[in-house]
Chain A
Amino acid sequence: MSMPTTPAATASLPGAVGEEVLRATGITKRFPGVLALDGVHLDLRRGEVHALCGENGAGKSTLVKIVTGLYQTDDGEVVYKGEARHFASIQDAQAVGITMIHQELNLVPHLTVAENIYLGREPKKGWFVDKKKMEADAQVYLDRLKVGIRANELVLTLTVARQQMVEIAKALSLDAEVLIMDEPTSSLTESEIDRLFEIIHELKAHGVGIVYISHRLDELRRIVDRVTVMRDGRYVSTRNLADITVDDIVSAMVGRSLEEKFPERSSAPTDEVIFRVAGLSRTGKFRDVSFDLRRGEILGFAGLMGAGRTEVARAVFGADPKTAGTVTLAGRELSIASPIDAIEAGIAYLSEDRKLNGLAVKMSVKDNITMANMAAVSDRFGFIDPPKERSAAKKFVDLLNIKTPTITQIAKNLSGGNQQKVVIGKWLFRDSRVLFFDEPTRGIDVGAKFAIYQLLDKLAHDGIGVILITSELPEILGMTDRVVVFHEGEVTGILETRKTSQEEIMQYASGVKHMFR
């Protein structure tokens, strides 16, 4: 493993910019019953940012896992710096300069930043860790990122965005010549993304080849040189980004052109208020939040990360306590102390992190769909009626067009979009009257997103209250009728979607404008 004695933070890498550094050809990977990759091709040059695009399940992660030594290829070869290589482990690949920053961060929360960066290769003084040197070296890389993280901070005290920066610092310390980034911006704020892109530009200038995986096609333009598109485990094309449009990428990804990102809305809001929240507060999280929801309406919750949107939804749902405020559904004031009360009343909350809070991944599609309404498929002694349960699950699998071989398939094996539909099915089976959708399209591919949008519209059309919490402003503009904007735990504005713009919403979200002050 390359272990520089002093951090070579500014040294350029050997080899000319533009020279090929990595080439993977004919990569094929079989998992039991599935051909995950079928003769895929990828080549990377020094000093290039190379986007890897494709829908969920297209095989992007499998490909980079092979390149980084996590999986072994069944066929085809990886040529690194002109030499055919076979990496038996991540450590193997890291040792020669191929490093990956995973979407799920791999940091140890109870260790310091420096300890994480040098985990497994701590500088030693005799038998002991040379803590002073370790922290000093780590600080050099951190300083280069200009994010103000100290090497002796505990990782658990950092925000997710700053933890990401630590991962990048770690990659820098490994002297990576090939850096693979999987959805690096998914949890970053705008300014943090700006900083990340500056860093990427610096790395490029030093001759690092970067493979960049992202669902956010709009941001590719700012950093990417070439794009490789994959579909269904196959290689589709590699193009210079300058020669193509985002629409070209999307149609290559889905194999057809996508005329519209959002469906035509079929419902219009009426004057009838079905759901009202007034003066809702939770000390330290949000205060005096009030809004109402009308029949047929989709209400958006906009705001930056940490503005309190999720916290409000969770408090309404009884998942977290509230300190003040009332919730009224269909003219009746509810007393909600737990999710059980809220569900009883007809309120549902689809959490932002499906795998963490929404889905029992080891259970079947059927079991997940009936989970919130077992009473409807069992007798009064608690005995489940299997035919009844199967037909209920089947109904929602058909209704929501959930792609699953059978209803007894384990939820873990479904794609993100289909998992989301299973969660939606769970709440529809419960006859919910108000649904909070918290980031329902995060990490879902383009085609599945459209299906979710259609569903939201249909729910609103059927008179079910839909509240859409999303960080994607185009989603707010494309799907909602009104938008409640949050800033640091306060509602700063409630806007008619038709009469507003991304810019105006951002002004409220950043606290520049305030309607109620």
Chain B
Amino acid sequence: MAITETGAPARKSNIDRKDLIQKFAALAGLLILVVVFSMTSNAFMSMSNGVTIALQTTSIAYLGLGATFVIITGGIDLSVGSVLALAGVVAGIAAKAGVPVSLAMCAGVLVGGACGWVNGIIITRMKLPPFIATLGMMMVARGLALQVTGARAISGLGEDFGVLGNGSFLRIVEEGANGFPKVVFPGVSYAVIVMAVLAIACAVVLAKTTFGRHLYAIGSNEEAARLSGVDVNRTKIGAYVLSGLLAGLCGCVLMSRLVTAQPNEGVAYELDAIASAVIGGTSLVGGVGTISGTVIGAFIIGILRNGLNMNGVSSFIQMIIIGLVIIGTVWIDQMRNRR
């Protein structure tokens, strides 16, 4: 007997188009910003400013990548701003104590991962909402960073400590006619290279591995994932550990740039991270999000800050504008999803 059925509408092309619009809306926003700022400020469209923007965006991007993983599962990580401070401080203390810089920074990154692991355990085993668990961690990590340093910055960390944050690849310096060094090509800073490598790696993990697939499954329907044999707890813990590791790395890079371990560094950075993911199309209810979107989101925030600075807009006005941009993008996203 032939079975006929109705109700499988051919909406495929439409959905694809929506995805495309989503991508292009963010990208177009980015391009518009670049065009507008290059018209309003002469210094904006220069090699050195490009380098500055890329460097400033790295910290938002590191945290944004982690936030994307966590938010795709339907969670949130408010602790990264504090965790990066703790991780950077640990790296600083270790370096000051004579540990080789590379090892000291590894220790910092691992401390970040450990904080993420604790977040994951609290969320999965103690079954606390991610908001509460990571809010708690936000205060604990900040408190620890302040306590171990006595709230004082650790300086005198040596030149090596500054390499990750200030060094560049392919930097070309000539001796000028007046005897002073002249920068021919500023090079690509290590922090930017790390950002690119991490973004690609995260995109691959998310799109091409079972771990990535499980993250989406949990965010889309946690119970269905559990009943399909997905180890929900382990996968979620993995997402928070990743977020913690990236926060740790971010802390090391930031402290390296200052060549000082600052326990007060990174306050409210978690909000930039979440904003970059959300501007890039990651849904706060989970199940939807891409790395490319988050990177675009991070650059939107980075360029907005930089361009507004160049135009002499005060940091208070900047806050207002970025706040409005977040509200605006999510509103547009909501409008699109509503029929």
| A residues adjacent to B (C-beta < 8 A) | 31-34, 55-58, 231-232, 254-256, 260, 263, 317, 319, 339-340, 343-344, 349, 351, 355-363, 367, 371-372, 374-375, 378, 381-384, 386, 401, 403-406, 408-410, 413-418, 426, 430, 445, 447-448, 450-451, 454
Please choose the segment from B41-49, B213-221, B257-265 that sits at the chain A interface, where 4 or more of its residues have CB less than 8 A away: B213-221
Across the interface, do B217 and A360 meet the contact criterion of CB distance under 8 Å?
yes
Q: Which of B213-265 contact A (CB under 8 A)?
A: 213-214, 216-217, 219-221, 223-231
Question: B6: CB under 8 A from chain A?
Answer: yes
- For A378, give its contact among B7, B209, B216, B220 (CB under 8 Å): B209
Contact in complex: A378, B229 (CB < 8 Å): no
Given A33-B14, A358-B227, A360-B224, A417:B210 Cβ within 8 A: no
Q: Complex formed: what's the CA distance from A256 to B221 in Å?
A: 37
Residues on the A chain within 8 Å of B219, using CB: 362
Q: Which residues of B contact A415 (CB under 8 A)?
A: 5-8
Q: Is the CB of B6 within 8 A of A55?
A: yes
**How many angstroms from the CA of A415 to the CA of B209 in the assembled complex?**
29
Interface string of B135-163 (1 = CB under 8 A from A): 00000000000000000000000000000
Is A57 a contact partner of B7 (Cβ separation < 8 A)?
yes
Which residue of chain A has the shortest Cβ distance to B13 in the bound complex? A33
Contacts of A231 in B (CB 8 A): 6
The total of chain B residues at the interface (CB under 8 A) is 37
Instruction: Give chain B nearest CB distance to A186 CB in angstroms.
Output: 18
Q: Write out the residue numbers on chain B whose beta carbons fall within 8 Å of the beta carbon of A384.
A: 208-210, 213
Pairs A-B, 10 closest by C-beta atoms: A57-B7, A415-B7, A360-B220, A343-B229, A403-B8, A374-B210, A372-B228, A362-B220, A362-B287, A360-B221
Which residues B1-37 have CB closer than 8 A to chain A?
1, 3-15
Known: A447-B3, A447-B5. A367 touches B209 (CB 8 A): no
Instruction: Name the residue on B nearest A452 (C-beta).
Output: B3
Contact across chains for B5 and A418 when beta carbons are under 8 A apart: yes
Asked whether, in the complex, the Cβ of A371 is within 8 Å of the Cβ of B228, the reply is yes
A430: B residues at CB distance < 8 A? 229
Choose from B12, B210, B213 the contact partner of A408 (Cβ within 8 Å). Answer: B12
Closest to B231 in A: A340
Nearest opposing residue in chain A for B229, CB measure: A343
In this assembly, does B339 line the interface, its C-beta being within 8 Å of a C-beta of chain A? yes
Q: Take A33-B10, A362-B288 as given contacts and tell me if A448 and B229 are in contact as well, using a CB distance cutoff of 8 Å.
A: no
Q: Is A448 a contact partner of B214 (Cβ separation < 8 A)?
A: no
Residues in A neighbouring B211, C-beta threshold 8 A: 382
How long is the Cα–Cα vector from A409 to B11 in the complex, in angstroms? 8
New A-B pairs, 6, CB < 8 Å, besides A360-B287, A371-B225, A384-B213: A34-B11, A231-B6, A256-B4, A358-B224, A362-B221, A415-B5
- List chain B residues, Cβ under 8 A from A416: 7
> Which listed residue, B1, B6, B229, B287, touches A339 by the CB 8 Å rule?
B229
A339 to B223, CA, bound (A): 11
Count A-B contacts at CB 8 Å. 151
Q: Contact string, B183-211, partner A, CB cutoff 8 A, digits 1/0?
A: 00000000000000000000000001111
Chain A hits for B10, CB < 8 A: 33-34, 405
- Please indicate the chain A residues that have their CB under 8 angstroms from the CB of B220 in the complex: 360-363
Bound complex: CA A108 to CA B184 (Å): 66
Q: Are A363 and B216 within 8 A (Cβ)?
A: yes
In the bound complex, how far is the Cα of B209 from the Cα of A343, in angstroms?
Answer: 21
State the CA gap A359–B222 with chains docked (Å). Answer: 10
Are A32 and B14 in contact (CB-based, < 8 A)?
yes
Chain B hits for A383, CB < 8 A: 208-209
Q: What's the least CB distance linking A300 to chain B, in Å?
A: 22
* Contact pick for A340, options B8, B12, B229, CB 8 Å: B229
Q: Which residues of A contact B217 (CB under 8 A)?
A: 360, 363, 367, 371
- When distances are taken between beta carbons in the complex, the residues of chain A under 8 Å from B14 are 32-33
A418 to B8, Cβ gap below 8 A?
Answer: yes
- In the bound complex, what is the Cα–Cα distance between A228 and B6 (angstroms)? 18
CB distance from B80 to the nearest CB of A (A): 25
Would you call A451 and B3 a contact (CB within 8 A)? Answer: yes
Q: Which residues of B contact A408 (CB under 8 A)?
A: 12
Cα separation A356 to B223 with both chains bound (whole Å): 7
8 inter-chain pairs at a CB distance below 8 angstroms, sorted by A residue, are A33-B11, A56-B7, A340-B231, A359-B224, A360-B287, A413-B8, A418-B5, A426-B228
Q: What 1/0 flags go to B282-313 for Cβ under 8 Å of A?
A: 00000110000000000000000000000000
Chain B, residues 47-80, CB within 8 Å of chain A (1/0): the string is 0000000000000000000000000000000000
Q: Are A405 and B214 in contact (CB under 8 A)?
A: no
Q: Indicate whether A382 sits within 8 Å of B7 (C-beta atoms), given known contacts A33-B14, A409-B12.
A: no
- Min CB gap B204→A, angstroms: 8
Given A263, A356, A382, A413, which contacts B9 in the complex, CB threshold below 8 Å? A413
Q: Is the CB of B226 within 8 A of A33?
A: no
Is B225 a contact of A360 with CB atoms below 8 Å? yes
Shortest C-beta distance, A316 to chain B (Å), equals 13
User: Considering only CB atoms, which chain A residue lies closest to B230 in the complex?
Assistant: A371
**Which chain A residue shows the least CB distance to B4?**
A447
Residues on A with C-beta less than 8 A from B15 are: 409-410, 413
Contacts of B228 in A (CB 8 A): 339, 343, 371-372, 426
**B-chain residues with CB within 8 Å of residue A55 when the two chains form the complex:** 5-7
Look across to chain A and name the residue whose beta carbon is closest to the beta carbon of B8: A403
Nearest-Cβ distance from residue B338 to partner chain A, whole angstroms: 12
Inter-subunit contact B3/A401 (CB<8 Å): yes
The interface residues of chain A lying within 8 Å CB-to-CB of B339 are 31
CA A378 to CA B216, docked complex, whole Å: 16
Flag if B5 contacts A448 (CB, 8 Å): yes
Residues on B with beta carbons closer than 8 Å to the beta carbon of A340: 229, 231
If A319-B227, A360-B221 touch, whether A232 touches B6 (CB-CB below 8 Å) is yes
CA separation between A256 and B4, bound complex, in Å?
Answer: 10
A240 to chain B, nearest CB (A): 26
B210 touches A406 (CB 8 A): no
Residues of A within 8 A of B231 (CB): 340
Of the candidates B4, B219, B229, the one having the most CB atoms from chain A within 10 angstroms of its own CB is B229
B233 closest partner in A (C-beta): A338
